[in-house]
Amino acid sequence: MTDQAYNFAYLDEATKRMIRRALLKGLAIPGYQVPFASREMPMPYGWGTGGVQVTAACLTPEDTLKVIDQGADDTTNAVSIRKFFERTADVATTEATAEATVIQTRHRIPEVPLTEGQILVYQVPIPEPLRFLEPRESETRKMHALSEYGLMHVKLYEDIARHGAIATSYAYPVQVEGHYVMDPSPIPKFDNPKLGDNAAIQLFGAGREQRIYALPPYTRVVSLDFEDHPFEPTKADHSCDLCGAGDTYLDEVITDDQGSRMFVCSDTNYCVTRQAEAEAGAAQ
Amino acid sequence: MAHDTVLAAGFADPARDAARAFRLCLNAMARPGTLQDVAPIAAPAPLSAAAATVLLTLADSTTPLFIGTSHDTPEVRAWIAFHTGAPLVDRAQAVFAVGSWAALGPTEAFAQGTAEYPDRSTTLIVERSALTPANARLTGPGIQHAHELRLPDPAAFQANAALFPLGVDFYFTAGTQLAALPRTTKVEAL
Amino acid sequence: MYVATKGGERAIDAAHQWLAEERRGDPAIPELSVDQIREQMTLAVNRVMAEGSLYDPDLAGLAIKQARGDLIEAVFLLRAYRTTLPRFGASEPVDTGEMRITRRISATFKDAPGGQILGPTFDYTHRLLDFKLMAEGETPTAQQKPSDPVDAPHILSLLDRDGLMEPLEQTDATPADLTREPMSMPADRPLRLQALARGDEGFVLSMAYSTQRGYGRTHAFVGELRIGTCDVEMFVPELGFAIEIGEIELTECETVNQFTGSKTQPPQFTRGYGLVMGQSERKAISVSLVDRALRWDELGEDNVGAPAQDTEFVLYHCDNIQATGFLEHIKLPHYVDFQSELELIRKIRRAAETPMQEAAE
């Protein structure tokens, strides 16, 4: 049931138009952070207000929504956001990645390749990839304007000098269509290769920082690296202990106080589906 | 004046219809050159249903609008004022512009964005008699291999794309059909 | 056998029920009404209205009740509600010179037209716990004296007349609206004052205090602090004139600060300004000090690198709703990112250990 006290998908129409215009400019300038007048949402900043506003501006009554946090549909914040849209937009929801038309995510890209009918909405905490190198917005904006990314390369190179490897494992910076350097949100770098050449539309919302950016489908996205230190997507060197998958991103679960560990798929829907398929196969 | 057209038309269910219309605008911009079909709505001639839908979805009192002479009629003005409240301005101040290709004139007259804020540029809604048959081949972000579209003047879009990250972005509208061409798209004449 | 945790939804529902029970406390104790909060926790209500950017004492009272007295949580409730309200228009500028004053003091002049009015202040109370308040049923009344409405012009305008104050720039320009447009730098003074007015009282206070201790000192005197009610008027096009739509309580502080001058210009005092909803004088004074510190550039002063001189730093960090949200979000699961860090640190350690072992062998 839609909550009649609020407009469809919560936001008023003027706010949605403002966000929609920002989204379109984001698509027209891939990887560029479009400022938008983020609104105060009924959930705290830092808990997905940017993603929620983008989703609210995109949802149609016919959509099927999936919400994940850390790859899982049942994490508390994912549950909370999914309930919010069930209540305010009365949309169908699903846990099955393939059935969803809009997927809001925090920190993961689903394992199943996305398709042309899908929109992936990322919750972004710090949209500025240069923020920790230069805290000033006035300065980073100039760097983007001039495509001056030397500072980022210096940082990555210092990592190599110090650790022998690039010491960034999530929110690993990418360059979009050879121009803007972009923060992919805190996804593990394992997911970075899925950013580029993706069939789905990818939208990024940072509520507190008031920025929206986007990747159209089939956009060229390159993880920053060096010839002698090429980018490497990494995961735990195990297979999933539940479904046996050897090519998925894994959570490490501590199972007792003796140091025992299990490794399980972070994408719970993918894992559950594989387990069900295996059971069905065994039953036949 | 056709008073009924001015007042009655618009989205029947504003929030939900705008959401559906935006999805078409989004898909069009995300996949340059693909044709989207909008739901028919009554708009005062010569404004097409597709152009009217884009305006209803995106324009409001905060988005100054330029109307090309091809569309600058009392009926269109009244419809825009009633449904969007968008203030009418000259090319350089416009967030949106609507009209025929000839009436909109050279795209350099519109805001192209700035190096620090390339988003501060005009989106042009170019009314066309038809979006097919194609005369241009499109490649770039949003396009897996190549798309094809009928463009008024392929060379103009090459010049616009050369300005990246500055430049303007386009919607093309004909009847209920809608397509888009962002500044990133590379255009070759067929 | 390990199974992935399910039941987030049930956990949330149960947490909310528990929270409601805790909010109510011991049911044997009478429940607090919103009226009681509005009337007896007025300064909390004022702070919530000021930082919530919504003048509505009843809703602020409700928010405080719902938030169990957590004022930042209450501010958040009010902000989230405010966003959903339709906008009918903007009021005419409020004339604080016409304020019906309940308190007015100047630290720069012993007396001034309109007089000094101490008003309801803690200033000279001895901070001794009043155990009588623990007993119920006390309704103190203050002595009353009939008074005529006084004409109390802004005290700094008297210095203006002698040319000793930097002139105020008069403009009819519509100021930017922080709540409808994204913040962008450089931020002009109206935008800065808006951000500070809704900024966290503790943050703005500490910033102001830091200028007093020498981090961007501005030699501030409280030229005038006034608290009272002002009429709010709105122009109605159908009527062709403005009508009064209500009144709000405001606290306004104008500081007199160190003078500037040059070979061509005789020295003049400079100003800091703070305007806050409700009776919030600590906040208004703080805003005026920080406002003044942020004006170093336009007044041709040196940037000494003080935090309170840094517009980006102050404006991007003064909002407690943004700050608390982002701070508290680190409670949310981060195991995906943490896992990637684990993999990385193990890999780097392996790589580091291998040559060490080789060297040892």
Q: Where are the domains of chain C?
A: 15-83, 96-119+151-167+179-318
Q: ∠B172-B173-B174 over CA atoms, to 5°?
A: 135
Contact C333 A77 (CB under 8 A): yes
Domain spanning B3-189, CATH class? alpha beta
Spatial separation of the C-alpha atoms in residues C87 and B62, rounded to whole Å: 14
Q: ∠C343-C346-C351 over CA atoms, to 5°?
A: 125
Q: A172-181, pLDDT tens digit by residue?
A: 999 999 999 9
A29 → chain B, closest CA residue: B165
pLDDT class of C142 with cuts at 50, 70, 90: confident
Beta strand spans in A25-74 (E): 34-35, 64-69
Claim to verify: residue A239 and residue A217 sit in the same structural domain: no
The answer to whether position A134 is within a domain reads yes
Sign of CA dihedral B13, B14, B15, B17: positive
Q: For C306-341, what is the HEC assignment?
A: CHHHCHHHHHHHCCHHHHHHHHHHHHCCCHHHHHHH
Which chain B residues are closer than 8 Å to A23 by Cβ?
26
Average pLDDT for C173-179 = 88
Catalytic residue flag (residue A240) = yes
CB atoms within 10 A of CB B62: 16
What b/e sequence results for C302-335 when a residue is b if at least 16 CB atoms lie within 10 Å of its CB, and e otherwise? eeeebbbbbbbebbbbbbbbbbbbbeebeebbbb
The pLDDT value given to residue C186:
87
Spatial separation of the C-alpha atoms in residues C192 and B139, rounded to whole Å: 45
What DSSP string describes B51-74? Answer: HHHHHHHH--TTS-EEE-GGG--H
Claim to verify: residue A160 and residue A62 sit in the same structural domain: yes
B159 CB burial (10 A radius; 0-12, 13-18, 19+): middle
Which of A31, A51, A205, A207 does the annotation list as catalytic?
A: A31
Claim to verify: residue A128 and residue A258 sit in the same structural domain: no
Claim to verify: residue A212 and residue A245 sit in the same structural domain: no
User: Which residues lie across from A69 on neighbouring strands?
Assistant: A72, A106
Average pLDDT for C243-248 = 94
Catalytic residue flag (residue A58) = no
Give residue A218's domain range: 13-223
Q: Which residue has the tokens 């003080």?
A: C306
Cis, bond preceding B46 (omega within 30 deg of 0): yes
Claim to verify: residue A62 and residue A200 sit in the same structural domain: yes
Contact A35 B164 (CB under 8 A): no
The pLDDT value given to residue A197:
96
| Pick from B16, B20, B29: CB nearest A24 | B29
Q: A194-247, pLDDT tens digit by residue?
A: 999 999 999 999 999 999 999 999 999 999 999 888 999 988 889 999 999 999
Q: Which amino acid is at A66?
A: K
Average pLDDT for A12-24 = 96
Claim to verify: residue A36 and residue A125 sit in the same structural domain: yes
The answer to whether position A230 is within a domain reads no
Query: B165 CB near a chain A CB, below 8 Å?
Result: yes
Whether the CB-CB separation of C32 and C62 falls below 8 Å is answered with no
Q: A185-209, pLDDT tens digit by residue?
A: 999 999 999 999 999 999 999 999 9
**Window 326-345 of C, Cβ < 8 Å to A:** 326-329, 332-337, 339-344
Residue A174 sits in a domain of what CATH number? Answer: 3.40.50.11310
Claim to verify: residue A151 and residue A268 sit in the same structural domain: no
Claim to verify: residue A183 and residue A79 sit in the same structural domain: yes
The pLDDT value given to residue C155:
87
Whether the CB-CB separation of C353 and C345 falls below 8 Å is answered with no
Which chain A residues are closer than 8 Å to B18 by Cβ?
13, 16-17
Q: A145-154, C150-159, C290-299: lowest mean pLDDT where?
A: C150-159
Contact A28 B182 (CB under 8 A): yes
Claim to verify: residue A252 and residue A167 sit in the same structural domain: no
Of A178, A193, A223, the residue that ends a domain is: A223
Which chain A residues are closer than 8 Å to B184 by Cβ?
28-30, 177, 216
B61 → chain A, closest CA residue: A14
pLDDT above 70 (res C168):
yes
Query: B17 CB near a chain A CB, below 8 Å?
Result: no
pLDDT above 70 (res B113):
yes
Q: A19-43, pLDDT tens digit by residue?
A: 999 999 999 999 999 999 999 899 9
Whether the CB-CB separation of B75 and B58 falls below 8 Å is answered with no
A153 CB burial (10 A radius; 0-12, 13-18, 19+): middle
Q: B74-85, pLDDT tens digit by residue?
A: 999 999 999 999
pLDDT above 50 (res B1):
no
Q: A18-32, C106-120, C212-226: lowest mean pLDDT where?
A: C106-120
Spatial separation of the C-alpha atoms in residues C45 and C123, rounded to whole Å: 20
- Mean pLDDT for chain A overall: 93
Of A174, A197, A223, the residue that ends a domain is: A223
ipTM of the complex: 0.96
The answer to whether position A2 is within a domain reads no
| Beta pairing class for A221-223 and A174-176 | antiparallel
Claim to verify: residue A212 and residue A284 sit in the same structural domain: no
More confident of the two residues C256 and C137: C256
| Beta pairing class for B96-100 and B123-127 | parallel
- Pick from B1, B39, B4: nearest CA to B18: B39
The answer to whether position A161 is within a domain reads yes
Query: B142 CB near a chain A CB, below 8 Å?
Result: yes
- Pick from C16, C13, C327: nearest CA to A79: C13
Average pLDDT for C3-12 = 70
The answer to whether position A214 is within a domain reads yes
* Chain B neighbors (3+ CB pairs < 8 Å): A
**Which helix or strand (DSSP H or E) is residue A143 part of?**
helix A137-145
Catalytic residue flag (residue A31) = yes
Contact B119 A34 (CB under 8 A): yes
